């Protein structure tokens, strides 16, 4: 069953009989169960109540449409597309172990290749030898090029190599895998700052995104992680992976509302086709 079918099964309006306190209580409970989190749920339900009253909405369809609008507005916190308008442009990926960074880079690389772009993968996660190997497999699969060094190399040095290669080869987009770990916030900041300095120096004014990859199945823990990352790195967008493994799509709204960072992509499986640009309208249609 696909993610959208799963969240439809949440059946948010199953207990609907009238617009009364019981209805709002049940709605609150369902939204919290969908991983929307307490703060975001209360905010959404308060807003819904006030609009239902103000707009004199009386029927179920009207309430549904109103809730969809409320959630869509909460999801609209910035540019949902990727800014890749310089040649080359750079996308950095950060996130804790196992959330799906490498897989996401592979999928996005393949999709950009499909748009006719020249893509270079940069194996900046030098902490784990297997990370570069895994990225090499994705490069072969997607037809992207790859720049890597030995295990333990300085990630900023790998980025320098990747930028030089991109300039020489007329590359459109560099996708940088990073170790991006949070063992220690200072280490992460130092690593990312060093990478940023290389990019600033070698590619002044280039379009740059920093995407934080989060595993949707970790729910509210993912949100806590995200807050720490947001403090350590200038995150421009979220990729929410493994949504195929959960019906708890409410986490998407919690992330947008609490972090004020747009969800740009969602991961719906392990295959190369399973990365989708996040579509707030389709999402709220399915949820409500």
Residue stretches of the annotated binding site: 95-102, 177-181, 241-244
The contact pattern for ligand GTP, residues 117-146, with x = CB under 6 A and - = no contact, is --------x--x--x--x------------
In the bound state with ligand GTP, the residue whose beta carbon lies nearer, of 40 and 246, is: 246
Q: How far is the CB of 125 from ligand GTP (least distance, A)?
A: 6
In the bound state with ligand GTP, the residue whose beta carbon lies nearer, of 230 and 276, is: 276
- 225 touches ligand GTP by CB under 6 A: no
In the bound state with ligand GTP, the residue whose beta carbon lies nearer, of 250 and 267, is: 267
14: left (phi over 0), alpha (psi -120 to 50) or beta: alpha
The phi and psi torsions of 116 (rounded to 5 degrees) equal 90, 10
Closest to 251 in 3D by CA, of 35, 41, 12, 67: 35
Closest to 107 in 3D by CA, of 143, 75, 138, 152: 138
- 103 touches ligand GTP by CB under 6 A: yes
Residue with structure tokens 């990019």?
199
Q: How far is the CB of 99 from ligand GTP (least distance, A)?
A: 4
Q: If binding means CB under 6 A, how many residues of this protein chain bind ligand GTP?
A: 21
Task: Count CB atoms within 10 A of the CB of residue 12.
Answer: 19
Segment lying near ligand GTP (by CB under 6 A), choices 16-24, 49-57, 220-228, 265-273: 265-273
Closest to 104 in 3D by CA, of 155, 67, 138, 60: 138
Segment lying near ligand GTP (by CB under 6 A), choices 114-122, 155-163, 238-246, 276-284: 238-246
Q: Can you tell me the distance from the alpha carbon of 129 to that of 134, in angstroms, rounded to the nearest whole number?
A: 9
Segment lying near ligand GTP (by CB under 6 A), choices 44-52, 143-151, 192-200, 236-244: 236-244
User: What does the chain come to in residues?
Assistant: 288
- Packed helices 38-54 and 21-33: angle between N→C axes, nearest 10 degrees: 150
- 231 touches ligand GTP by CB under 6 A: no
C-beta of residue 75 within 8 angstroms of C-beta of residue 279? no
Q: Which parts of this chain interact with ligand GTP (CB under 6 A)?
A: 95, 97-103, 125, 128, 131, 134, 241-242, 244-245, 267-270, 274
């Amino acid at each position: 069953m696909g993610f959208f079918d799963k969240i439809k099964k949440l059946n948010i309006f199953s207990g609907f009989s009238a617009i009364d306190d019981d209805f709002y209580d049940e709605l609150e409970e369902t939204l919290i169960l969908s991983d929307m989190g307490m703060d975001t749920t209360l905010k959404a339900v308060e807003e819904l109540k006030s609009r239902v009253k103000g707009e004199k909405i009386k029927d179920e369809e009207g309430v549904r449409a109103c809730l969809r609008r409320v959630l869509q507005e909460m999801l609209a916190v910035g540019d949902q597309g990727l800014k890749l308008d310089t040649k080359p442009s750079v996308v950095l990926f950060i996130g804790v172990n196992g959330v799906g960074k490498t897989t996401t880079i592979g999928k996005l690389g393949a999709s950009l290749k499909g748009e006719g772009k020249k893509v270079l993968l940069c194996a900046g996660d030098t902490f784990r030898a297997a990370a570069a190997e895994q990225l090499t497999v994705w490069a072969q699969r997607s037809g992207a090029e790859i720049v890597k060094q030995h295990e333990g190399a300085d990630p900023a040095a790998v980025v320098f190599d990747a930028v030089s290669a991109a300039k020489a080869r007329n590359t459109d987009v560099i996708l940088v895998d990073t170790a991006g770990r949070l063992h220690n916030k200072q280490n992460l900041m130092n690593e990312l700052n060093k990478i940023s300095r290389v990019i600033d120096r070698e590619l002044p004014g280039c379009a740059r995104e920093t995407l934080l990859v989060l595993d949707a199945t970790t729910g509210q823990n993912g949100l806590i992680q995200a807050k720490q990352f947001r403090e350590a790195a200038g995150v421009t967008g979220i990729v929410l992976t493994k949504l195929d493994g959960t019906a708890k799509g409410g986490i998407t709204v919690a992330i947008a509302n609490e972090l004020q960072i747009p969800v740009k992509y969602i991961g719906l499986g392990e295959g190369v086709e399973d990365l989708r640009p996040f579509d707030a309208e389709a999402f709220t249609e399915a949820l409500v």
